[in-house]
A and B are shown apart, each in its own frame.
Chain A
Amino acid sequence: SQKIEQNSEALNIQEGKTATLTCNYTNYSPAYLQWYRQDPGRGPVFLLLIRENEKEKRKERLKVTFDTTLKQSLFHITASQPADSATYLCALAPGGSYIPTFGRGTSLIVHP
């Protein structure tokens, strides 16, 4: 069955360091992959989308890579700040679908 795996353990890092979050998937051929941020009690907020034919995407301090051979996406936040503390969700969808399937998310805690 299709599976999207994100590390269930929280990632704790020091302010200023680069945070790297992982999204692995199996039995899936996504056409695109998205990353969202979710704060407690609030809806997810769209951050970045990367398509299957793209290797890397950047937006300000954020960088996403997409390796369809490894079936993995890495999400990087450089120069992390305490305000970056949140749960980060990856979401995948096949071509032609506007409905992504979400991973369970990884909690990021940035310590001052």
Chain B
Amino acid sequence: KAGVTQTPRYLIKTRGQQVTLSCSPISGHRSVSWYQQTPGQGLQFLFEYFSETQRNKGNFPGRFSGRQFSNSRSEMNVSTLELGDSALYLCASSWGDSSYEQYFGPGTRLTVT
């Protein structure tokens, strides 16, 4: 079974721009979660989507948004990029109902200059 895929793997953007990251979950998984990982803060939860609805949300500003499509694929968008947004963005998928294990993708390394 194919794992979680994320595109692009690497991205360089300029402050003030916006960016869209994509995640394709494992087939059959209905929950997709997004995390930001930085050396200073570790792995921080952004939001979770289940069946196209945002089910949980972390403590990030409104510049961070996401959505999920009917095929469970998900995108996250960051508008008005700041230098501090430079991080590894990880997507994780799970069944979302009775299973707690999360399966992570390889991540998108975003660098904001």
CA distance A41 to B56 in the complex (A): 26
CB-CB under 8 A for A44 and B43, given A98-B31, A98-B48, A99-B33 = yes
Find residues 22-45 in chain B having any chain A CB closer than 8 Å to their own CB: 31, 33, 35, 42-43, 45
Name which residue of chain A comes closest to B40, CB basis. A104
B90 within 8 Å of A (CB atoms): yes
| A102 and B100 contact, CB distance less than 8 A | no
Taking a contact as CB atoms under 8 Å apart, the answer to whether A101 and B45 are in contact is yes
Contact-residue bracket for chain B: 20 to 34
Q: Is the beta-carbon distance between A93 and B100 smaller than 8 angstroms?
A: yes
Give the docked Cα–Cα distance between A41 and B45 (Å). 18
Q: Is A32 an interface residue (CB 8 A)?
A: yes
If A42-B107, A43-B90 touch, whether A99 touches B42 (CB-CB below 8 Å) is: no
Query: Are A99's CB and B56's CB within 8 A?
Result: yes
Number of interface residues of A (CB under 8 A): 21
| Contact status of A49 and B100, CB under 8 A, knowing A43-B4, A98-B48 | yes
For B21, the chain A residues whose CB sits under 8 A away are none
Interface, chain B (partner A; CB < 8 A)? 4, 31, 33, 35, 42-43, 45, 48, 56, 88, 90, 92, 94, 96, 100-107, 109
- Which residue numbers of A lie inside 8 Å of B, CB to CB? 32, 34, 36, 41-46, 49, 89, 93, 97-105
Q: 10 more A-B contacts (CB under 8 A) besides A98-B31, A98-B48?
A: A41-B88, A41-B106, A41-B109, A42-B106, A43-B105, A43-B106, A46-B101, A46-B102, A49-B100, A104-B42
What would be 20 A-B contacts, judged by CB atoms less than 8 Å apart? Answer: A32-B100, A34-B100, A34-B101, A41-B88, A41-B107, A43-B4, A43-B92, A43-B106, A43-B107, A44-B43, A44-B90, A44-B102, A49-B100, A98-B31, A98-B48, A98-B56, A98-B96, A98-B100, A99-B48, A99-B56
